[in-house]
Structure 1
């Protein structure tokens, strides 16, 4: 399997800690720079041919819903825990929308789970 590409879009321009976790698990992380980055998640996923998109905002939904609406990526949003994200991946979702959670463990576990699923 080729390297897993994960795009991270955070409403406040963060996501660097999640990116560290993605890379620790052997993936390639692309953090979208700037405020409102979550709203560009689908565009960057499309441009980079990404495997997974992770969106962060207060509600955990705006960027994920936009990526689904514009590009048809299956999404799950409104999540508040890493376990919810792992379950969403197992259910076939490719875009994961969380409340603000810029933690390394999230990126690591999501990437590891995707690698396990795709074998």
Structure 2
């Protein structure tokens, strides 16, 4: 089974809880360090060949839209729930923009949704 690579960029430099959930589900988490990390999401996803990118900021859009514009990733942004993220993955999105939501459950469920969609379970 291929290990899913999830890149996490948080406007406030967080993301450690989501990373723990990603790893609990068998994925590899890359947390971009520092404030405004969300704006580097596309660059790090591209460099690390990430499967999923998660951007966190107040609006849930800035880093995701930047990744889409620069690299053409399919994006859904402005999300406020785990279920919205799971649906976005089902719809083929690879970059997900959320309001601040650093929860283990989010990372775990997104990896499971990705594995289910792409038959990687």
State the TM-score, normalized to the length of structure 1.
0.99
Tell me the distance in 1 between the aligned counterparts of 2:70 and 2:9: 16
Q: CA deviation at 1:2?
A: 1.3
List structure 1 runs of 4+ shifted beyond 2 angstroms.
none
Pair 1:50 & 2:50 matched: yes
RMSD in angstroms over aligned alpha carbons? 0.5
Please state whether the residue corresponding to 2:50 is helix, strand or coil.
Answer: coil
Please state whether the residue corresponding to 2:35 is helix, strand or coil.
Answer: coil
| 2:117 alignment counterpart | 117
Tell me the distance in 2 between the aligned counterparts of 1:109 and 1:2: 17
Deviations, residues 19-56 of structure 1 (Å, cap 9, x unaligned): 00000000000000000000000000000001000000
| 1:38 alignment counterpart | 38
Tell me the distance in 2 between the aligned counterparts of 1:117 and 1:52: 13
Gaps of 5+ in 2: none
Tell me the distance in 1 between the aligned counterparts of 2:57 and 2:38: 7
Pair 1:88 & 2:88 matched: yes
| 1:70 alignment counterpart | 70
Tell me the distance in 1 between the aligned counterparts of 2:116 and 2:78: 24
| 2:19 alignment counterpart | 19
Please state whether the residue corresponding to 1:93 is helix, strand or coil.
Answer: coil
Tell me the distance in 2 between the aligned counterparts of 1:21 and 1:113: 13
Q: CA deviation at 1:60?
A: 0.1
State the TM-score, normalized to the length of structure 2.
0.97
Tell me the distance in 2 between the aligned counterparts of 1:38 and 1:110: 18
Gaps of 5+ in 1: none
